Structure 1
Amino acid sequence: MKTGLTIGKFAPLHKGHQFLIEHALAETDYLIVIVYDSPEVTTIPLPVRAGWIRKLYPSVEVIEAWDGPTIVGDTPEIRKLHEDFLLSILAGRKVTHFFCSEFYGAHVSKALGAMDCRVDEGRVAIPISATTIRNALFENRHFVVPEVYRDLITKVVFLGAPSTGKTTLAESSAHNMGTVWMPEYGREYWEKHQQDRRLTLRQLLEIAQTHIQREDEKTLEANRVLFIDTDATTTWNFSIQYHGKADPRLTQLADSTLSRYDLFFLCDDDMPYDDTWDRSGSADRTIFQKQIRADLIRRRIPFFTLRGTLEERMRIVMQILKHFDKYSSLADNLISTR
């Protein structure tokens, strides 16, 4: 039986890594991929990086190396440190083929008693490196598959009652940061399908589902940040307001928003009310604003409240995003924005 092994940080996983993994899969009966925890290189958690490989290559055994050596070099001491670690984590399992694109292929394969299999060592087939992608993600996005790219985008959602500036702020923020934004699909749908200013439970579910589908598509066009006008919790609140209940599937989508988005901004209702034909009045805006705020608190969703002019709101958003890292702790992000 041919058992292959490859190792790496996969920070992020790119098509060069995939070329290596797929080559190894074609040459062996069984493949092991060891993913190193590398906080000195990336804040992307080890389970996220390992999860990409598990999702894309279900037949691969992925081992998460939480205590792997982080020092890099080609001295006898460093070589032995890495060799001993690999022998330890494999715990006596026999590897017949070691696949890599790096200088360490010779000494690691020798230590494992495996065949030294170099794959695209000169980066000719796939001319990219993880360092290059980290430094210029948007410019090199064609080297990253959608399953990975979406996890690298910071998703910022603006919430609030109608006429609280969400659309203007989302569009302006995207323009300011050279990226794209996701318009509120619910408004587009309502204008086409409303009957006596109401939608059915099924139609409200369809709004949330289509909004998420479009949002996923927009994420692949985003330059590090995607700005989003409303989410499924807003649609859920409309459903409760109209019908006193929501489709269970809409409730599930609303419940998943905490894990779907990285930053939540609640646009306050302190700006003048824009009384267009599709809105129901400033009094209803005040009530719905209170409901949205209460719902965020009930769901334990952390949020920033934006007040004042567009410029004042924009300044707060940009200041928070300036040092924000979606994979750092909330405390670390708050400290970095000071």
Structure 2
Amino acid sequence: MNGRASDRTPAQPSWVPEFGHGMVVGKFYPPHAGHHALIAAAAARCAVLTVVVAPSRRESIPLAARLDWLREVHADTPWVRFVGRYDDHPVDYADPAVWDAHCAVFRAAVGPEKVDAVFSSEAYGVELARRFGAVPVSVDQDRRTVPVSGTAVRADPAGHWRWLSPPVRAFLVRRVVVVGAESTGTTTMAEALAAHYGTVWVPEYGRELTARKLARLWERSPGATIFDVGWDRDDFRVVVREQQAAEDAAARSSGPLLFCDTDARATAVWEERYLGNASPQVREAARRPALYLLTDHRDVPFADDGLRDGEHLRAWMTGRFRDELAGSGVPVVELTGSHAERLARAVQVCDDLLAAGWSFAEPITAPDTLAS
């Protein structure tokens, strides 16, 4: 991936800028508010700004994703272009040959146009500007305005969550899926966990669709019940599509944990229940969340709200969920006992999930250099 799709000349600002062509260089591993502030400051002073995203191939966030995230956040400054180039050279600020190697990568990304100013929040910005024959412009080098760095984010994403943009949050969020038979408290648990962690949760779309189907049926047959509602393969594909769309939308505003009431694997079990087996399309749509919480049917009274099949199915459904999740490759924790006991257990395993942190491949560069 080299970002050539944005190598064309971008639109220019309507005001008279201080510099003709500015440059920002970094790895953006991952992009954070400090990066965005740097780019915004440079964009405010340049007719055209080239942002060179130059990671090494060993890093664990795709280059294409970083480019997409940056373009989304800075879509309101079309005179800023983002160009990606891999830079696998070592870092040694005392070695002119190493400097030459890095600068060759940056020059190839920028193209033949002269660079008038180099904007940076790092000490290397002065030498980088000298080598491009440009004016060095330092922006918040002491991190007082935006106290964050890529190194800090990688070490503790949850602790620096507020500095991350919606697409980066959606990439890093840990998804916790609550599944279980009817009337076993999946919705109650997802909502309670979201409240505990101060985040959002994703309701079950299948339940919403069931209610709509029954309402339409009542228009023709006022005495109809849930047992008169019909299902086909397309219905379950719609459920998966809409559920995942809602999940992806919520992930952009979520905290480090996102709680989901059901997913495609649970939908496959319900498709099996109504149609005899699960379709390949539904099964293939299954994702890998960070954790499954399975709500046991025991110790939870059955409440018939008019949208449920019946208490007699709950033990079978619990067993099917248990079998289905066993082959998912995802950790599964079963919740039993009272609601308070279940919530305490769920919070414990979610805290453990946060404490385990995130895993990033180490960049070639040292902390607080181009790696930020």
Tell me if both proteins adopt one fold, taking TM over 0.5 as the criterion: yes
Taking the aligned partners of 1:252 and 1:25, their CA distance within structure 2 comes to 47
Matching residue of 2:358: 327
Change in Cα spacing, 1:26 to 1:203, as seen in structure 2 (3 Å) is: farther
8 Å contact 2:23–2:51 — kept in the other structure?
A: yes
Taking the aligned partners of 2:46 and 2:267, their CA distance within structure 1 comes to 45
Matching residue of 2:121: 101
Corresponding residue to 1:157 among 152, 160, 177: 177
Change in Cα spacing, 1:3 to 1:222, as seen in structure 2 (3 Å) is: closer
RMSD between aligned alpha carbons? Answer: 3.8
Structure 2, unaligned stretches of length 5 or more?
Answer: 1-6, 8-20, 72-80, 109-113, 218-227, 361-372
Matching residue of 2:220: none
Q: Per the alignment, in what secondary structure is the counterpart of residue 297 of structure 2? A: coil
Matching residue of 2:167: 147
Matching residue of 1:50: 63
Corresponding residue to 1:181 among 180, 201, 210: 201
Q: Per the alignment, in what secondary structure is the counterpart of residue 79 of structure 1? A: coil
Higher helix share: 1
Q: CA deviation at 1:84?
A: 5.3
For residues 95-144 of structure 1, the C-alpha deviation after alignment (integer angstroms, 9 at most, x for no partner) is 6645523332112344xx32345457148xxx535349757645445xx2
8 Å contact 2:175–2:260 — kept in the other structure?
A: yes
Matching residue of 2:37: 16
Q: Per the alignment, in what secondary structure is the counterpart of residue 173 of structure 1? A: helix
Letter in 1 for 2:335: L
Q: CA deviation at 1:230?
A: 0.7
Matching residue of 2:93: 79
8 Å contact 1:154–1:226 — kept in the other structure?
A: yes
Taking the aligned partners of 1:64 and 1:162, their CA distance within structure 2 comes to 53
Q: Which has the higher contact order (CA 8 A, sep 6+)?
A: 2
Change in Cα spacing, 1:63 to 1:326, as seen in structure 2 (3 Å) is: same
Structure number with larger C-alpha Rg: 2
Q: Where in structure 2 are the equivalents of 1:299-314 lying within 5 Å?
A: 299-314=328-343
Taking the aligned partners of 2:235 and 2:170, their CA distance within structure 1 comes to 27
Taking the aligned partners of 2:46 and 2:357, their CA distance within structure 1 comes to 33
Matching residue of 2:246: 214
Q: CA deviation at 1:91?
A: 6.7
8 Å contact 2:295–2:336 — kept in the other structure?
A: yes
Matching residue of 2:84: 61
Taking the aligned partners of 2:293 and 2:46, their CA distance within structure 1 comes to 45
Query: Would you say how many aligned residue pairs link Structure 1 and Structure 2?
Result: 300
Over the matched positions of the two proteins, sequence identity in percent amounts to 22
Q: CA deviation at 1:249?
A: 3.7
Q: CA deviation at 1:193?
A: 0.8
Taking the aligned partners of 2:42 and 2:295, their CA distance within structure 1 comes to 46
8 Å contact 1:105–1:116 — kept in the other structure?
A: no
Q: CA deviation at 1:231?
A: 0.7
8 Å contact 2:178–2:293 — kept in the other structure?
A: yes
Letter in 1 for 2:182: P
Matching residue of 1:128: 146
8 Å contact 2:30–2:168 — kept in the other structure?
A: no
TM-score where L is the length of structure 1: 0.72
Kindly indicate whether residue 333 of structure 2 is the aligned counterpart of residue 315 of structure 1. no
Most deviating of 180-189 and 85-94: 85-94
Taking the aligned partners of 1:220 and 1:262, their CA distance within structure 2 comes to 17
Taking the aligned partners of 2:302 and 2:349, their CA distance within structure 1 comes to 28
Q: CA deviation at 1:34?
A: 1.8
Q: CA deviation at 1:150?
A: 0.9
Matching residue of 2:326: 297
Letter in 1 for 2:321: I
Change in Cα spacing, 1:297 to 1:101, as seen in structure 2 (3 Å) is: same
Q: Per the alignment, in what secondary structure is the counterpart of residue 47 of structure 1? A: coil
Taking the aligned partners of 1:174 and 1:118, their CA distance within structure 2 comes to 46
